[in-house]
Copies of this chain bind each other. A is one copy, B any other.
Amino acid sequence: MSIETISEQRCFGGVQGTYRHISRETGGAMRFSVYRPPAAEDGPVPVLYYLAGLTCTEETFPIKAGAQRVASELGLMLVAPDTSPRDTGIEGITTDWDFGEGAGFYLDATQAPYAERFRMYSYVVEELPALIAGQQPVDVARTGIFGHSMGGHGALTIALKNPGRYRSVSAFAPIVAPAQVPWGEKALPRYLGDDRAAWGAYDATALVREGRRFDGTILIDQGDADQFLAGQLRPEVFEEACREAGQPLELRMQAGYDHSYWFIQSFVEDHLRHHARALRG
């Protein structure tokens, strides 16, 4: 697999890089960003994947979240993929901000014309980690995952569906029950078909209700001034499912915070330390 380096720049003693490769899973060019901490010069380091939300790219997290300082201190590598395949040429695929390019929902689509390229689940779970393991000094046994909004949905579902693969998981303002909210009700039938039974495979609340568990405490931060809280996010639905299932969950409601990266940067240090406790232990 050939990887093209777009840029590599010094940041907090480490390197912030952007790379490009041709993806087998998504059938086209994909970009991803990596923050390599100084500790990576001395040997393999734990790796933490970040999944971004609707409309975002591989640039959003490194530019807006302010996570490199703590990652440098803790010796964590940060990897952020794009949020979907790009330049798919599918008719109307860039028309909506909450469906299509920039809105891959971290699933493997089964419906035409999306099934061939919209395979972000397999990309994030299989292809990208293999690529990273071949390129960067990572200890793959120490992998964590987190994300924001649609990316929080991705992190939660991916961690629940792959027991043992991720040692830690957290989310900022995640979509926790896509099958029950407008964003999911719009995207899931297009990607997965009208049979709602298929949607449950990519719904964190449904996964917990059907018996999936994460071996550890899930950390979620949610702003109580988030404009999407009542309509799209509904963390109480996931909280109830976790309580009934005995799944450890720390849901922190943060007073006055909205859905933005101003919110994320305010709490990203807590999340990195949460992951470091599991990854460095």
CA distance A11 to B260 in the complex (A): 9
Specify which chain B residues have a CB less than 8 angstroms from the CB of A217 in the assembled complex: none
Checking B10, B16, B63, B225 against A10 with a beta-carbon cut-off of 8 angstroms, the contacting residue is B225
B-binding segment of A118-126, A142-150, A189-197, A261-269:
A261-269
B-binding segment of A64-72, A208-216, A244-252:
A64-72
CA distance A225 to B11 in the complex (A): 12
The range of chain A's interface size is 20 to 34
Look across to chain B and name the residue whose beta carbon is closest to the beta carbon of A258.
Answer: B9
Checking B9, B10, B266 against A11 with a beta-carbon cut-off of 8 angstroms, the contacting residue is B266
**Could you tell me which residues of chain A, from 33 to 52, have a CB within 8 Å of some CB in chain B?**
none
Would A10 and B66 count as touching, CB distance under 8 A?
A: no
CA distance A262 to B16 in the complex (A): 8
Q: Does A13 contact B (CB under 8 A)?
A: yes
Would B10 and A69 count as touching, CB distance under 8 A?
A: no
Secondary structure of the A contact surface, majority rule: mixed
**Could you tell me which residues of chain A, from 9 to 61, have a CB within 8 Å of some CB in chain B?**
9-13, 16
Q: Given contacts A66-B69, A69-B66, are A10 and B265 in contact (CB under 8 A)?
A: no
Q: Does A228 contact B (CB under 8 A)?
A: no
Q: Does A89 contact B (CB under 8 A)?
A: no
CA distance A263 to B13 in the complex (A): 10
CA distance A47 to B257 in the complex (A): 24
Would A265 and B223 count as touching, CB distance under 8 A?
A: no
**Contact sample, A vs B, 7 pairs, CB 8 Å cutoff:** A9-B260, A10-B263, A11-B265, A11-B266, A63-B64, A63-B261, A66-B69
Give 9 A-B pairs besides A66-B66, A69-B269 with Cβ atoms closer than 8 angstroms.
A10-B223, A10-B256, A10-B262, A11-B262, A11-B263, A11-B265, A16-B262, A63-B63, A66-B265
Residues of A within 8 A of B (CB): 9-13, 16, 63-64, 66, 68-69, 223, 225, 256-258, 260-263, 265-266, 269
